[in-house]
Structure 1
């Protein structure tokens, strides 16, 4: 697997951080690589940290939603953390939302959220 975005495993949780703006092709590759990694690493949960992003366009928002759906289909809960206030405002102004994604302020809250969701599911 050629995962270009950092991927850490903490027990059954995968943690990834998008640290730079990605092209549409890179975002699609990120999605495929992450969903593949869930299966390969038997992960029950995924946290995606986007705190370093200054911009989340409508394509990126859609891919995050789709990634969360795909992750759930293979058995993993998902949380996105670190959405900057101006990114949130931009998403609202564009009429975009992260519908199927648990969002949290920081990594600690995201880890707690996905662990709680996994515990409820079990």
Structure 2
């Protein structure tokens, strides 16, 4: 049974997709991410797709679904490592990936969500 590892880095979760996605694997990834976002009070999810040479409408929808679920759980989603040909394909497929931020690499992605700090700014405001 294939699984996609989810690593915790500061207040972020890092997912590196290096295998061909199928329905069951995408559903399992979404479930695993949802549980870890809640358990770790995650601020953001970084999805590294640099290993993917081809992105089809299924992968595009999966990324958009993960972003929607993450947003509902108060976590941002940033896709990193997108190749130019993948970006072109997504545009040609009409998949703008609403709610998904992008960055060239994981370092920039972490900066977008502030995932390297040891605290959550949103939580600090709740306790004042």
TM-score, normalisation: structure 1: 0.87
How many pairs does the alignment contain? Answer: 120
Q: Residue 41 and residue 120 in structure 1: after superposition, are their counterparts in 2 closer, same or farther (change >3 A)?
A: closer
Q: Secondary structure at the match of 2:62?
A: helix
Larger Rg: 2
| Larger relative contact order, structure 1 or 2 (CA cutoff 8 Å, min sep 6) | 2
Runs of at least 5 residues in structure 2 that lack an aligned partner in the other structure: none
Structure 2 equivalent of residue 14 of structure 1: 13
Asked whether the 8 Å contact 1:21–1:55 carries over to 2, the reply is no
With structure 2 as the length reference, what TM-score do the two structures score?
0.83
2:3, 2:25 within 8 Å by CA — same for their partners in 1? no
**Alpha carbon RMSD of aligned pairs, Å?**
2.2
Q: Which ranges of structure 1 fall in alignment gaps of 5 or more residues?
A: none
CA shift, 1:24, in A, is 2.2
